[in-house]
Amino acid sequence: MLFRSNKRSIHFILLICTLTPNLGASFGPYIRLLSTSCAQQQHPSSSLNKNLLLSMGMKVNIRIVGRKSGSEAWLEDACDMYLTRLRPSGVEVETTWHKDNPALIKGVETDASKGNTIVLLDPLGKTKTSEQFSEDLYEWLDRGGSRMSFVIGGAEGLPSELKYPAGTTSGQKMKPSMLISLSSMTFTHQFARLLLIEQIYRGTEIRKGSGYHK
Q: Which CATH number is 134's domain given?
A: 3.40.1280.10
Mind listing the pLDDT tens digit for each residue in 161-214? 898 764 444 545 556 678 999 998 989 999 999 999 999 999 999 999 999 998
Residues with Cβ within 8 Å of residue 110, at least 6 apart in sequence: none
Q: Are residues 84 and 177 in the same domain?
A: yes
Q: Are residues 16 and 118 in the same domain?
A: no
Q: Are residues 38 and 58 in the same domain?
A: no
Task: Kindly state whether residue 2 falls inside one of the protein's structural domains.
Answer: no
Q: How confident is residue 23, by pLDDT bands cut at 50, 70 and 90?
A: very low
Q: Are residues 112 and 28 in the same domain?
A: no
Task: Kindly state whether residue 11 falls inside one of the protein's structural domains.
Answer: yes
Q: What is the mean pLDDT of the chain?
A: 78
Task: Kindly state whether residue 37 falls inside one of the protein's structural domains.
Answer: yes
pLDDT of 174:
59
pLDDT of 136:
96
Task: Kindly state whether residue 214 falls inside one of the protein's structural domains.
Answer: no
Task: Kindly state whether residue 18 falls inside one of the protein's structural domains.
Answer: yes
Mind listing the pLDDT tens digit for each residue in 32-68? 333 333 344 444 444 544 555 445 589 999 999 998 7
The mean pLDDT of 98-102, rounded to a whole number, is 95
Task: Kindly state whether residue 47 falls inside one of the protein's structural domains.
Answer: no
| Domain limits for position 27 | 7-42
Long-range contacts of 202-209 (CB under 8 A, 24+ apart): 202/130, 202/133, 202/134, 203/130, 203/133, 203/134, 203/137, 203/138, 204/86, 204/89, 204/91, 204/134, 204/137, 206/130, 206/131, 206/134, 207/134, 207/138, 208/89
Residue 181 pairs with which residues in a beta bridge? 127
Task: Kindly state whether residue 213 falls inside one of the protein's structural domains.
Answer: no
Q: What is the widest separation between alpha-carbon atoms in the chain?
A: 70
CB atoms within 10 A of CB 127: 12
Which of 203, 194, 192 shows the shortest CA–CA distance to 91? 203
Q: Are residues 113 and 199 in the same domain?
A: yes
The mean pLDDT of 99-127, rounded to a whole number, is 94
Q: Are residues 136 and 63 in the same domain?
A: yes
Residues with Cβ within 8 Å of residue 105, at least 6 apart in sequence: 159, 161, 162, 168, 169
pLDDT of 14:
40
Query: What DSSP designation does 21 have?
Result: G
